[in-house]
Structures are given as C-alpha cells and as structure tokens.
Amino acid sequence: MGEVDLAFIQEQEHRPKLSIIEAEGIPLIDLSILNETQDANSSGIDDLVKEIGSACEKWGFFQVINHGVPLDKREKIFDASRKFFAQPLEEKRKIKRDEVNVLGYYDTEHTKNVRDWKEVFDYTVENPTIVPASHDDDKETTEWYNQWPKYPSELRETMEEYAKEMVKLSYKLMELIAQSLGLVGHRFSGFFKDHTSFMRLNHYPPCPAPHLALGVGRHKDGGALTVLAQDDVGGLEVKRKSDGEWIRVKPTPNAYIINVGDIVQVWSNEKYESVEHRVMVNSEKQRFSIPFFFNPAYDTIVKPLEELTTEKTPPKYKPYQWGKFLINRKRSNFMKLKAENIQIAHFRV
C-alpha cells in the first residue's frame, strides 16, 4: 500500500480529531414488514415510514435488518472479494483503471489526489453505463465498460447477481424516503431509468501507523443513496449532526448501513442532509466492505422538488445535471484540478 504520507497528513488542518465516541449510534430499523404485507396503508408501514424519516432528518444514516437480501449472496460476494484482493499486485493491476476506462482496480499508489489507505475494485450495474463525454458537454456521450479479472472465475457472476439485490433494496428504500417526505412512493423511480449506479469492493490492509492515516478521509456521498455492507472489523464513523462528534458505527451482523447522499439533500430542499463520514484503519486486522452507490441516469437534472418548495421555503439549489457532476468527480481522481472539486455547495442559491 506504500508508506504513510506524513507530510500530506500534517497539512490537513481540517482533518477532524481522532477521538470518537464508542457507540452503536445510528438507528437500527427492521424492514421485515415489507416482506409480510403489500398493504401500503397499514399502521406498520406508517410507523416504518416515520422511522425512516426521523433517521434521515436527525442522522442522515441508519442501519436496516430483515432487508430481504439473501444471506448466501452476501457471503459469496465477500468471499469473492477476499480472493480477488489476496492476489499479487501485478495480477490486480492487469485491470487497473485509468482516465479512459474509469472502472476496475486501483490502489493508493496509483491515484494523484487520494491518500486513503485502501485498494478498490469498481464496477457499474448497467454495462455499459452511458455518461457525458466530458464534464462541460452534455450533448456528446460515451460508455463505461466493466473490466473483469480472470480470478476468481466466479467474481463476475457473483457481483452481477448481488448488484440486482442492491437495486431492489434501493428502490424499496427510496419509496420509503419519498413517503417520509409526504410524496407518493414512486416519486423518485423515474430518475433511475438507465441509472449510473456502481458497486465498489474495498480492502483496507492493516496499517502500521493507524494514527497517521485514514481508510477513507472525511467526505459526503454525491449520489442519491449508499447501501453499505461491512465485515465485523468495523471502522466506519459518522459525524453526528447534533453536536459534530464522530460516532463509530458498531457492526451489526447481516445489516446494511444506509446513508442519503447529496442528491437527496437537494431533492428534499435540505429537509434531509448528506452527512460527513470517514473510515478508520486498523493496525492488526484487514477490513472488507462493499458499498453500493444508487445514482440516477446521467441526464437527470437535479433540483429541489416542486412539491417541497413554496414561497416561504424557496429552492435552495440551482439545477445541475448529474452526469456532468459525476464526470467532474471522476476527473479529479486522475488529475489535479485548478478549481476545487465540484460540490453541491457550488449550486446553492
């Protein structure tokens, strides 16, 4: 993984203190009623919608259990991930990403802006995925294609099957979030036709100097929704909205950690907020996690929904095209940009 870049870390004056509160923290929500009834007007569904809304408003994060994702598919993708990352570096780098093909493998030695202590394998759910050809042109498009390693042989099928489960769960969650905002359940569905969602396999090797590095630095997710599976090692920390303290999320067996991204913050006109989070490294144990990023189609114009704005609560953001936003973010992985990496704050009214 390379040496810890001490000079870089010392420059990060904005980097939050490492002291955190050991707590289960974020709400744990049981989704079992979704598998028991189709009656959307039942009191149980109403209570679930209220739980989801409260978690989104107060935390921006929550965990779900009894979510309907088959346990065997979850176990298979973790097993395939461990096999892939256990290979020699030269094998993994045969499918390394670059400026032309942004999907595949990368590690911290092959990124210009990132100092995170991890290695990664990215792939999109729709293959190919259609995106703008450049960050400043929304008329020309290009296609992103997945790269697949030869080993393990079952990796591609395992990942594609698992991705289907993530899409199904994400649609369920977006329906609940819509209802919690007082919208019809399918309000968001149309944005996700030809979606640009992608999956990531993360491997965090043991770090010899965990006090000098982060698995992932503090950040917010730019998409709509993130669904995270993690092993039992833990390390994810969430910045609590109420007091700015960092809360370590204790792993819950077979649960998924959910957080709303920047797009939901804009759609909801800031009723729900995307929250900062980070990952701490471990000096003794390696860690594996698998986030799924549920993102709309590239040509989606992201703006506060009309149903959630009034004369008294006007739109807080100017419209922006998701594809151009995504491409700008991807460009920053390969080159130092003259301007600050694009954020939704740039579109705030």
Q: What is the pLDDT of residues 44-63, one digit of tens each?
A: 899 999 999 999 999 999 99
The per-residue pLDDT for range 158-195, each reduced to its tens digit, is 999 999 999 999 999 999 999 999 999 999 999 999 99
Please list the residues that pair with 134 across neighbouring strands.
137
* Weakest mean pLDDT among 181-185, 277-281, 330-334: 330-334
Answer yes or no: is 151 within a domain.
yes
Q: What is the pLDDT of residues 103-131, one digit of tens each?
A: 999 997 654 444 678 999 999 999 999 99
Task: Give the mean pLDDT of 221-250.
Answer: 94
In a domain, 1, yes or no: no
Return the percentage of the chain with pLDDT > 70, whole number.
85
Domain assignment of residue 244, given as a range: 6-347
Work out the pLDDT band at 2, boundaries 50, 70, 90: very low
Number of domains in the chain: 1
Tokens of 48: 């679930």
Q: Are 284 and 210 in contact (CB under 8 A)?
A: no
CA atoms within 13 A of residue 230's CA, in its CB half-sphere: 21
Higher pLDDT, 217 or 120: 120
Tokens representing residue 82 in the block:
């461990």
Count Cα neighbours of 57 within 13 Å in the Cβ-side half-sphere: 10
Q: Model pTM?
A: 0.89
Residue 12 pLDDT class (50, 70, 90 cuts): very low
CATH of the domain at 332: 2.60.120.330
Would you state the pLDDT for residue 334?
55
User: What is the pLDDT at residue 98?
Assistant: 87
Tell me how far apart the 2 most distant CA atoms of the chain are, in Å: 60
Q: Is the confidence at residue 10, as pLDDT, over 50?
A: no
- In this prediction, residue 9 has a pLDDT band, given cuts at 50, 70 and 90, of very low
- Looking at the domain assignment, is residue 288 inside a domain? yes
Task: Tell which residue, 74, 75, 53, 71, has the closest CA to residue 62.
Answer: 53
Compute the average pLDDT of residues 72-100: 96
Report whether 316 contacts 304 (CB < 8 A): yes
- pLDDT (0 to 100) of residue 112: 45
Q: What is the distance between the alpha carbons of residues 277 and 59, in angstroms, rounded to a whole number? A: 11
Residue 239, in any domain of the structure: yes
| pLDDT at residue number 90 | 95
Whether residue 58 lies inside any domain: the answer is yes
Q: Residue 220's CB: how many other CB atoms inside 10 A?
A: 18
